[in-house]
Amino acid sequence: MIRVLPAALAASLVLPACGGGASTDSDRDGGHAGETDAQGLGRGDGGSGPGSPDGAPSCPNPPPKVCDFFLGCGCKEGEKCTATADGPRCAPAGTKTLGDECAQDNECPAGSLCAPSGGVKQCLAFCDRDHPCAGQSQACFIEIWDGNGAFLGRACGQTCTLLAQDCPYDTQACYPINGNANQPEKGVCAKAGTGGSGDACTTSNDCKKGFLCTRRPGGTDQDKKCANMCDRSDGDPGCESGFSCGLLGGHTVTGACLPQ
């Protein structure tokens, strides 16, 4: 199940009963690309796993008891290491490409899994500090958890432009990732809510497209309401009477219409 966390608008995938390598509490901090280490990533000599070209890190011999998401050490030809509710397991690899819509995990290639992203199931690449997401349109923010509540790792999710609201599906909206200083003016695509200006909210995707969940200065979490995003570089940011375009943390141009 994907959920959007209120503090960082990170998405979490909880696998319903069979997932990726064990991790430490420090792996859970942040939620941005480049902050986690690979779990069980083999770097020794002696054989190579699926998808490990010459000169790339190779699998140890014998391979580890628990496979890793990136090299697939311990998996057979045609298999991949994927996240299940019981930990990382070898399973058939699919032929779809990253970003393709999917129904089952065995449709997705090695190094990826089939998981919800913004309300649509897609083949998403596993990621960590040594395996960053490709391009500027993705970030390493989707958290993967097994059926017992153990954190397994992260996968790449699509980013978007907050003011442009350029998510690819009509059911999606672009919401901020708080503290995402590496990608100012960017956010993540998630299923859009219905809340409008002044409506009570818990997380940003309680709010409709173009809005976010925030609180006025000095307020508490119980006071959070949906506010429309605004352009701080525009002389007329479009805020209603009695509101002004306030600063949104981690961004310079994107703001939120807050009571004056």
Q: Report pLDDT for 199.
A: 95
Q: Report pLDDT for 13.
A: 56
Q: Report pLDDT for 249.
A: 82
Q: What is the pLDDT along the chain (260 residues), one digit of tens a residue?
A: 322 222 244 445 555 543 333 332 223 333 322 222 222 222 223 333 444 444 456 788 887 888 999 999 989 999 999 999 888 999 999 999 998 999 999 999 999 999 887 677 899 999 998 999 887 778 888 888 888 888 888 898 878 999 999 988 888 899 987 545 467 898 888 889 999 999 999 988 899 999 999 887 777 778 899 999 999 998 888 898 989 999 888 888 999 998 88
Q: Report pLDDT for 207.
A: 95
Distance CA 3, CA 111 (A): 22
Q: Report pLDDT for 14.
A: 59
pTM for the model: 0.64
Contacts 24+ apart (CB under 8 A), 202-211: 202/6, 203/4, 203/5, 203/6, 203/9, 204/4, 204/6, 204/9, 204/175, 204/176, 205/4, 205/9, 205/173, 205/175, 207/173, 207/175, 208/173, 209/165, 209/172, 209/173, 209/174, 210/165, 210/173, 211/173
Structural domain boundaries in the chain? 2-158, 162-259
Distance CA 89, CA 93 (A): 12
Within 27-177, strands assigned E span 79-84, 87-92, 112-117, 120-127, 138-145, 151-161, 172-176
Q: Report pLDDT for 89.
A: 93
Ramachandran class of 22: left when φ > 0, alpha when ψ lies in -120 to 50, beta otherwise: beta
